[in-house]
Amino acid sequence: MIDIRTVTKSYGPKVAVRDLSLHVPAGELFAFLGPNGAGKTTTIKMLCGLLFPTTGSVSVGGFDLRTDGDHARALVSYVPDQPFLYEKLTGREFLQFTADLYAMPAPRAADKIDEVIELFHLDEFVDDLTERYSHGMRQRTVFAAALVHEPKLLIADEPTVGLDPKSIRELKLLLRKLAAGGMTIFLSTHTLDIAQELADRIGILDRGTLLGCGTMDDLRRQANQDGSLEDLFMKITEETPETTETTPVTA
């Protein structure tokens, strides 16, 4: 579903992502980890078609984001860490707008809207203007909108920020269920427990370079040590010298 080939992205003189290659098949839940400024958000923005690689290519569902971006973006849903909602629309109107934007047939859209309202427990406030929502309500509404058009790829940047423990638990179950149903999920997070618990594979990015990628067992072999994801993450990122360029992992 995701095919990133030897991608480098520079912001002026600063290289945010260096020679990244990554393949994520359909139905996989992939977690992307890395310290602040590692290049996770830049990679996500390239997957959404918001930014283009300086060199290399990014494809989603076989569509190149640069040359066939409209088709690629129709397969993708993106849940950013700072959710956007139209302040002067109600939650239901926003869901309807999203369904229309993705050209869903009206009867199917109506069914899906009812479904996600129930799934995310939006019924108490879905007909209020979103300007009155709390952060948690906004986050749930954005998630509902992201799923209403049944995307092939769901990209979520720190999806648990602002959610209460019960909502986090429900979200984790939902993400696993969606992946089992064939949806590809690309998760960027700092919460290592969630990555360890949910992800089929984990990629560790630091200073723009993919240092490790694979299942927990793969990462343990690579780090040459046992332990939790936190231990592996610290080992892999600490072993990278700050001044020298490292050889990126291809996954």
Q: Which is nearer to another protein, 53 or 212 (CB)?
A: 53
Considering the complex, what minimum distance in angstroms separates the CB of residue 85 from another protein?
A: 9
Among 33, 76, 171, 192, binds another protein (CB under 8 A): 76
**Strand 153-157, strand 76-79: pairing:** parallel
Q: Are 155 and 48 in contact (CB under 8 A)?
A: yes
Using the rule CB under 8 A, is 192 a contact of another protein? no
Among 5, 6, 74, 190, binds another protein (CB under 8 A): 74
Exposure string over 7-30, b if 16+ CB within 10 A, otherwise e: bebeeeeebbbbbbbbebeebbbb
Distance CA(168)–CA(251), nearest Å, equals 29
Using the rule CB under 8 A, is 234 a contact of another protein? no
Number of residues that bind another protein (CB under 8 A): 40
Considering the complex, what minimum distance in angstroms separates the CB of residue 238 from another protein?
A: 26
Considering the complex, what minimum distance in angstroms separates the CB of residue 185 from another protein?
A: 16
**Strand 14-24, strand 2-11: pairing:** antiparallel
Q: Which is nearer to another protein, 11 or 225 (CB)?
A: 11
Which range touches another protein (CB under 8 A), out of 33-41, 98-106, 113-121, 237-245?
98-106
Q: Which is nearer to another protein, 8 or 191 (CB)?
A: 8
CB within 8 Å of 213: residues ≥ 6 apart: 22, 201, 202, 203, 204, 249, 251
Among 97, 161, 170, 231, binds another protein (CB under 8 A): 97
- Least Cα distance to 92 among 112, 76, 72 occurs for 112
Q: Which residues pair with 129 in a beta bridge?
A: 90
Give how far the C-alpha of residue 202 lies from the chain's centroid of Cα atoms, to the nearest Å. Answer: 12
Give the position of tokens 């406030």: 125
Using the rule CB under 8 A, is 13 a contact of another protein? yes
**15-54 residues near another protein, rule: CB under 8 A:** 45, 48-52, 54
**132-171 residues near another protein, rule: CB under 8 A:** 152
Distance CA(2)–CA(153), nearest Å, equals 8
Using the rule CB under 8 A, is 69 a contact of another protein? yes
Among 55, 67, 82, 228, binds another protein (CB under 8 A): 82
- Least Cα distance to 83 among 53, 111, 115, 120 occurs for 120
Q: Are 202 and 170 in contact (CB under 8 A)?
A: no
Q: Which is nearer to another protein, 104 or 175 (CB)?
A: 104
Give the position of tokens 């839940």: 29
**Where along the sequence are the contacts to another protein (CB under 8 A)?**
9-14, 45, 48-52, 54, 61-63, 69-71, 73-76, 78, 80, 82, 84, 86, 88-90, 93, 97-98, 100-103, 129, 152
